[in-house]
Structure formats: C-alpha cells, structure tokens
Amino acid sequence: MQPLSPERRSSRSDLPLIVKSDLHQSIDGRTIVDRNEVLLVGRLSAVVEEHPMPSGDTVTKWRIIVRRRRADRRGGTVTDSVPCVTFDRETAAVLRSLKPRDYIEVTGAFRCRVFGPAGAKIWRYEVEVSTAKPVDVAVLPEPEPEDGDHPAAAVPALVPRQVSYLAQVG
C-alpha cells in the first residue's frame, strides 16, 4: 500500500488525493490526519429534485452512479448509487443543466443526517457537494489495468446477459 502523500493524484481528474492543510496535527510525535473529502466521478442517475426548507434555503438532491473497479462473481459490472445533496445555488444550477446518465464530477464531504422522532430515528449517509462540473467522457483517460486485469477481461461485463426466467411464458 502506498503511503498517503500530496504527490498521489486521481487517475481520472489528476486532482491531488491528499492535500497539505492546517488540519494536520502532531501529538506525541504522531501525525493525525482527520479529513472528510469526497471526489466522485460517475453518471447522474435521474433528474435532480429540489425541496424548499423551512429556513428558506433549497436543498437539491440526486444520486450519482459510480462503477467499481472489480466485476461481480458472474462477470457483471458492480455499481454504487451514492446519494448527494447541495445547498449551494451555483452547484444546483450546474446539476439542473444536466440530463440523466450525463457524466459528472463532484467534490464535497461525507455527512450523516438524522431524521424522525426521538423513538424512531432514521440515519442517512450522503455526500454534501460543494462543487459539481460536467465531465466530457471523450477526454477521460483510460484507467490503467491493475495486476491481473486485462482489457479483454472487461468485454464480458459489457455484453447483456439473457435472463431466462423473464423469457418463460407462464
């Protein structure tokens, strides 16, 4: 495993993964790094939703679909649908201009929000986005294959599989 350093960069956006900041503290000769930074590049899952808040602010909600690097047991593509929100008007305007399945890059922080009455709390985890920008898929560099990965190994994941139980007539 590579040590965390400011020199490591994202393979897709070339943004630094770890940035030196005032948050680095040294206690008893140990470096403590508490960071809450998220960078996601993926597809917008559906049209964004906007909800007015009692404070007068508007919260914009959406999900971003992010593929994992590994395939599942049957060779299919594994994805995560990550819930995102923003309270920023400029970021919301960028999102409203996008269509579902458009590629987007977002940065923000991981948040836990708690809803409901005292006896029945619901915990939701989401990314509170501070910036969003559309990504032109044609300019994204191809990810380098990891050890054991071969470009031809990804082809079966792209071919649709037949689902036999849907074809059966009852």
Determine the pLDDT at residue 126.
94
Nearest by Cα to 102 from 125, 134, 139: 134
**Mean pLDDT in runs of 10 for the chain (170 residues)?**
48 56 57 80 93 92 90 81 94 93 93 87 92 80 56 52 51
Output the pLDDT for position 32.
66
Rounded to two decimals, the pTM is 0.61
Identify the pLDDT of residue 115: 82
% helix / strand / coil in the chain, to the nearest 5?
15, 40, 45
| Distance of alpha carbon 27 from alpha carbon 8, whole angstroms | 25
Closest by Cα among 91, 94, 128, 108 to 37: 108
Contacts of 40 (CB under 8 A, 6+ apart): 64, 66, 82, 84, 105, 106, 107, 127
Q: Which residues pair with 105 in a beta bridge?
A: 41, 133
CA–chain centroid gap for 62, Å, is 11
β partners of residue 28: none
pLDDT at 43: 93
